[in-house]
Amino acid sequence: MNSDFYSDSIVLLEGAIEDITSKLNIIKKYKEQKEGRCPIEYVTSRVKSEESMKEKLKRKGFEVTLENALTKIYDAAGVRIICAYIDDVYEVAKMLKSYSDLEVVEEKDYIKNPKPNGYRSYHIIFRLSLDLAGEIKPVFVEIQIRTIAMDFWSNLDHQMKYKKDIKNPEFIAAELKRCADEIATTDLNMMTIRNMINNT
Amino acid sequence: MNSDFYSDSIVLLEGAIEDITSKLNIIKKYKEQKEGRCPIEYVTSRVKSEESMKEKLKRKGFEVTLENALTKIYDAAGVRIICAYIDDVYEVAKMLKSYSDLEVVEEKDYIKNPKPNGYRSYHIIFRLSLDLAGEIKPVFVEIQIRTIAMDFWSNLDHQMKYKKDIKNPEFIAAELKRCADEIATTDLNMMTIRNMINNT
Amino acid sequence: MNSDFYSDSIVLLEGAIEDITSKLNIIKKYKEQKEGRCPIEYVTSRVKSEESMKEKLKRKGFEVTLENALTKIYDAAGVRIICAYIDDVYEVAKMLKSYSDLEVVEEKDYIKNPKPNGYRSYHIIFRLSLDLAGEIKPVFVEIQIRTIAMDFWSNLDHQMKYKKDIKNPEFIAAELKRCADEIATTDLNMMTIRNMINNT
Amino acid sequence: MNSDFYSDSIVLLEGAIEDITSKLNIIKKYKEQKEGRCPIEYVTSRVKSEESMKEKLKRKGFEVTLENALTKIYDAAGVRIICAYIDDVYEVAKMLKSYSDLEVVEEKDYIKNPKPNGYRSYHIIFRLSLDLAGEIKPVFVEIQIRTIAMDFWSNLDHQMKYKKDIKNPEFIAAELKRCADEIATTDLNMMTIRNMINNT
């Protein structure tokens, strides 16, 4: 086991995130100037912690090495794109697929097909060809695209997952599920109102 | 009329915003370390444009001068604080009032008393004593505190206000009002669920 | 003449600068992790002002259009890379030429061949193929690479150029020239000391 | 010994750095607008690493506690201000002493009295009264003010200190000392030329 595996991985993972964040900043300003608005509201990102990466590699039966960190884990570099409206989510997904150095590895639409607990989001795993002054390194990046409301809901859901000794977990889960559906309805209503405003 | 009035105003207004933003960054990290979380999700800000400042001064019958820009307009420097939950809004308001160089000039609770169109937010105008290497300059700053959901709603409402030739404006306004109430209910539900998660 | 020519140009010019700055950030962290140091100390950038762009187009006999701004002016987007040592300058130049989307248009070595006034710097004009979600736009960028000392000198030189009614301009110019040579000698001495430290 | 002593210290130390950096940003923009230039070129900062803080406390015979980290170490939070010219250094020192929440604890002028090895810099230790929403915490911050040239020299000097097995260390030290004096002379020459440019 290489004790430096994390600091070696992290420069590539953070490099991939910086590359994609920079692409998104550029396209946002370009679309806002050219078309008056961009479907991207804001962007956040994170690199998986050393602990989670080690734990994931071990669980999957791989050795903890730089090589495995970069080829066996697809969500070590994560980018989240928050949109105002549901149709923006699909437009952003389409935009991302147009970059010549981003190749789709896997795609999941949890908006059309929400998870049983109510989770909604659009996930794409890309293989980015990161150009390091002529040396091309492939890096996997998981991009999650969702609305502001979906994102807010998932933060609360996430909080529940990491809380121990919750009383009435089934009741809370049911309430959360109900809220997720409520939020999805509001998202649709807001999009309808926006269309009414724009189409008149 | 002084053609430089705007560039002279803007360094003080932006200075006030930088001072307050810096206070909020510091307290956010401090609370997250000490208490595990901070009631502030994120912060945005803007300085009123030259055009709006001139227009506002003229409408109020004042000459367009640096002096008047800094003493007659209370919302030339604006900071918006976005919170996850409704009770966070009140905690942030209380925190802000504790700073020794921030003095409350005006306070409006549009959450307890929403505007007729459905608008919800908490507004405070502060007089900041900005320290410029020993020279103290008073600068007014309007701080708006609201939840993520209230903020999203108000963006759509704002869009409608600036759109011309809308068909069925009364119908859209009614729909927006209905959505605002729906969102307020969801905000309460989410807070209830969070309390259930935390109190167990 | 198109009044919007500048805001349309600027999104592409700023996009090109963001793309290159991001490349430099990524490679800096990568080299620091892999090799212990990177030849780049820090990076600054600027977009030519509307006034200078118009003035330059007119002087060259071109109409003031977006098209001409992007194809006839090579230094509308400018990036400056500051290095600690003279040999770093050449290493950075080599690195830049390795990117697959950067094509050299012009190259000038004012370090080996200083300008008569004492100016030293390495200049490359690149044609960047900027990827805007699949739409490729060529944008010219001028990159200047120099040491900290060369940069400091050129700031003072620049100040003199824009100062009117200087007394004894010939004397000051001669003093500046003498300082430039002094600085160049110090740069060489510092590099020699660094080599002595590293090679022992 | 408290294992959390570092994460508890660091929020206050980083808070102090954010507060001072923000003061410097505000005053820089203010002076540039009002007087055309500011004596501050740029600002860097660092918090002492956990290891160095522990080591320093032990060396001084203190227990490793949050309390001691904040009251017995004066340079745990460090800010470096880089100026273009020597007289700027003294102007920045004067500006800093004017803030009502910064109290001078110690002051050393290594420009008038360089260290034997050639080191030049102006050091002030301040006690900052950090306002955390009404709760005032005193935090020590060491501010180093120096010219670009002094800063460049000290980076090379620092490199030598941390390099093991150097051949001819006395010779290199003598060369470094000679370079430091050369640089100090160039700094004076540049200031003289600037004065000639400005006073005409």
Q: What's the pLDDT band for C2 if we cut at 50, 70, 90?
A: very low
- How confident is the model at residue B111, as a pLDDT? 98
pLDDT at D167: 85
Q: Which residue of B has its CA nearest to D32?
A: B11
User: Please, are residues B119 and B181 in contact by the beta-carbon 8 Å criterion?
Assistant: no
Contact C194, D156 (CB under 8 A): yes
Give contacts of C130 with chain A, Cβ < 8 Å: 26
Q: What is the pLDDT of residue D150?
A: 96
DSSP state for residue C186 in the 8-state scheme: H
Mean pLDDT of chain C: 94
| Selected catalytic residue, list B135, B142, B170, B175 | B142
Residue D142 annotated in active site: yes
Q: Taking residues C46-50, what's their average pLDDT?
A: 95
Specify the pLDDT at position C200.
Answer: 55
Per-residue pLDDT, averaged over A83-103, amounts to 97
Q: Do D and B have ≥3 inter-chain CB pairs under 8 A?
A: yes
Instruction: Suggest the residue from D20, D21, D26, D27 to mutate for an interface test with chain B (most B CBs closer than 10 A).
Output: D26
Res B200: pLDDT: 55
Q: Work out the pLDDT band at B2, boundaries 50, 70, 90.
A: very low
Burial of B118 (0-12, 13-18, 19+ CB in 10 A): buried
Instruction: Give first-to-last CA distance, chain A, whole Å.
Output: 63
Which regions of chain A does DSSP assign to beta strands (E)? 42-47, 77-83, 102-109, 122-132, 135-147
Predicted confidence at residue D200, as pLDDT, reads 55
Whether chain C has a CB inside 8 Å of the CB on A36: the answer is: no
Which residues of chain D fall below pLDDT 70?
A: 1-3, 200
What's the pLDDT band for B1 if we cut at 50, 70, 90?
very low
* CA-to-CA separations, D17 to B15, D79, D94, D96, in angstroms, rounded: 17, 7, 19, 14
Question: What does the buried/exposed string (b/e) look like for B136-146 if buried means 16 or more CB atoms within 10 Å of the residue's CB?
Answer: eeebbbbbbbb
Residue A193: which of B175, B194, B197 has the nearest Cβ? B175
pLDDT band, very low/low/confident/very high, at C165 (cuts 50, 70, 90): confident
B101 touches D: beta carbon within 8 Å: yes
- Residue B193 has a pLDDT of 95
Joined together, the tokens standing for residue B170 give: 């009364």
In this predicted model, what pLDDT tens digit does every residue of D133-182 receive, in sequence order?
Answer: 999 999 999 999 999 999 999 999 998 888 888 888 899 999 999 999 99
pTM for the whole structure? 0.93
- Interface predicted TM-score (ipTM) over 0.90: yes
What pLDDT score was predicted for residue A83?
97
Q: Quick one: DSSP state of residue A65?
A: -
Residues 6+ apart with CB under 8 A from B10: B47
pLDDT in tens, B67-92: 999 999 999 999 999 999 999 999 99
- The neighbouring-strand residues paired with C126 are C104, C141
